[in-house]
Amino acid sequence: MNQEILDKAQKWLDSDVDEQSKEEIRSLMSNEEGLTDAFYKDLEFGTGGLRGIMGIGSNRMNRYTVGIATQGLANYLLSCYPGEEIKVAIAHDSRNNSPFFAETTAGVFSANGIKVYLFDGLRPTPELSFAIRHLGCHSGVVLTASHNPKEYNGYKAYWNDGAQLVPPHDKNVINEVNKITDVSEVKFTADNSLIQPIGAEVDEKYLAEIKKLALSPEAVEAQKDIKIVYSPIHGSGVKLVPPALEQYGFTNVYVVEQQAQPDGNFPTVVYPNPEEKEALTIALEEAEKLQADLVMATDPDADRVGIAVRNLDGNLELLNGNQTGSLLIYYILQRWKERDQFQGNEFVVKTIVTTDLIQRIAESYEVDCYSTLTGFKYIASLIAKLEGEKRYLAGGEESYGYMVSDFVRDKDAVASCAMIAEMYAYAKDNGKSLYEMMIEMYQKYGFYKETLISLTKKGKKGAEEIVQMMADFRNTPPKSFAGSDVVRLVDYQAGISKDLLTGAETPLDYDRSNVLQFFTKDGYKVSARPSGTEPKIKFYISVNAPLPSPGQYEATRNQLDEVIAGIRKDLALD
């Protein structure tokens, strides 16, 4: 075995970790692969916090890695706010060990003299973001691994604006966490007098803000009995999505019983991810039995939502994140125009790997559209930067995350579910289905079609393969995709956009990020990006063509599918 890994495991055995944990380490000593994966590195406190497989070891989510992360964050808060009463909010989802990790986090903060507001049970991630602002907290933490498989958990850290950490705080917290070299430096003994439970009173305030978003109450009243099937996929959405829909006025909401109980084992799905068709199988079956109009499903921490609507043949069809996000922006801007609410300073936001259709829609309403790096912390940072100057309306990313208004500073599936249902009611009240509204949007702005290819590469070997793949794309960039020449290369890590026809290079006004984008002469876009939260490398493909009339929808879709198939072949990933 690697001596460095053995030495690190021995250091844990010689430390203050509990005896049960030491027994688990000893049992790994005869398992080279298991010991290597558990100790080959420290679980990195990245710019968004921690995420990893649960278990013992420096590269695992456990009491000690959570404790070290919290002690580092506490040390930074104490240095930033000397002499102040520092306050933090803590929430957790339905994952195994999430309540334990939340209590551990609360204990360490309180042991450092920090006031803690701890939710009395599972809550959606967006409500944690709301609570930080509502309670005037300096920071916050939610224990969740979002839509990762059941063996994962995570720790997302937030700053006083309700957004995940951005510069300089992200790097400064990372530095403080990295200074802690032994678990003995973590203050684990809680001061319970500093831990205050919170619950229903914050729920009510959060739901009241969501209700203010309503743009079409008359349409909802007229269509209040549309049949909606909702699944929380064993997660925290069950707590607030049904009440949010009820207060909007929807009376026919069916919660999928088999997936209503919070359960960190996610027994009815392979992945609790609404991006995966399999995760919505039971909800779709229920919707067919009920002949429902709309299906919605949220991930365990209720910050992402996937939907299905009936297509032109009357069959339920899943929409992807780009389609739902574009429809939401289209709907919101249309209603703002119809209600004569525009003041000329509004803006929307998308991420660089999200469909450019949103840009086209925004331009038609003379609304600014910004593109940020992947992650809602960048959207939140932009909102903060423009606060007082411009008004944020909505934003989204292709991975099924959307944020309407800015009282939450992270993607919010609770508010999104309410707005999606309202949008459906508005379309129906205007004599069309939501699917027909989508075709109308394509006819106006162009038919944009996207797909995502995710390759999972687990463990140390997988991480090395991902590094090599990105290096290969940088060193030998593709010349064309589906017969369309690549004319521009954007490298967000190098910070340049290069015109491949002239050789001219333009600097990018973005933070550095390991993302490559290739643009072709026909307007196709291919992006390559290693995931920051999963052992995956992702390839985002976007193609488009005019849609002359609704009657040509199927033919145009087939044409774009053929282009995507050609790009997949050129990527040689299958």
Q: Which of 58, 98, 110, 146 is catalytic?
A: 146
Q: What is the mean pLDDT of residues 324-343?
A: 98
Q: What pLDDT, in 10s, does the model give residues 392-419?
A: 999 999 999 999 999 999 999 999 999 9
Q: Which of 231, 380, 359 is nearest to 302 (CA)?
A: 231
Residue 410 parent element (H or E): none
- pLDDT the model gives residue 574: 66
Question: What mean pLDDT is predicted for residues 338-366?
Answer: 97
Helical ranges in 412-552 per DSSP H: 413-429, 434-445, 459-475
Euclidean distance between CA atoms 491 and 518, whole angstroms = 9
236 is catalytic: no
In this model, does residue 120 exceed pLDDT 70?
Answer: yes
| pLDDT-derived band at 572, boundaries 50, 70, 90 | confident
Higher pLDDT, 1 or 58: 58
294-314 pLDDT per residue, tens: 999 999 999 999 999 999 999
Cβ atoms of residues 85 and 137 within 8 Å: no
Convert 294-352 into a string of H (helix), E (strand) and C (coil). EEEEECCCCCCEEEEEECCCCCEEEECHHHHHHHHHHHHHHHHHHCCCCCCCEEEEEEC
d(CA 447, CA 97): 44
pLDDT tops 80 at residue 161: yes
pLDDT for res 535: 80
pLDDT at 456: 85
In this prediction, residue 166 carries a pLDDT of 87
For 522-563, how does the pLDDT look when each residue is reduced to its tens digit (9 = 90+)?
999 999 999 876 788 999 999 999 999 999 999 999 999 999
| Residues 384-393, mean pLDDT to the nearest whole number | 96
DSSP string, 223-285: TTT--EEEE-TTSTHHHHHHHHHHHHT---EEE-GGGTS--TT-TT-SS--TTSGGGGHHHHH
Q: Say yes or no to pLDDT of 141 above 70.
A: yes
C-alpha–C-alpha distance, residues 394 and 347, integer Å? 8
Question: Domains along the chain?
Answer: 41-198 (3.40.120.10), 206-443 (3.40.120.10), 447-571 (3.30.310)
Q: What would the pLDDT profile of 437-460 be if each residue is shown by its tens digit?
A: 999 999 999 999 999 998 888 877
For residue 222, pLDDT beyond 70: yes
- Over 70: is that where the pLDDT of 483 sits? yes
Map residue 78 onto helix, strand or coil.
helix
Burial of 184 (0-12, 13-18, 19+ CB in 10 A): exposed
The pLDDT of residue 545 is 97
What is the average pLDDT score of the chain? 95
Cis amide bond preceding 477, omega within 30: no
143 pairs with which residues across the strands? Answer: 92, 155
* Of residues 155, 157, 151, the one with CA closest to residue 138: 157
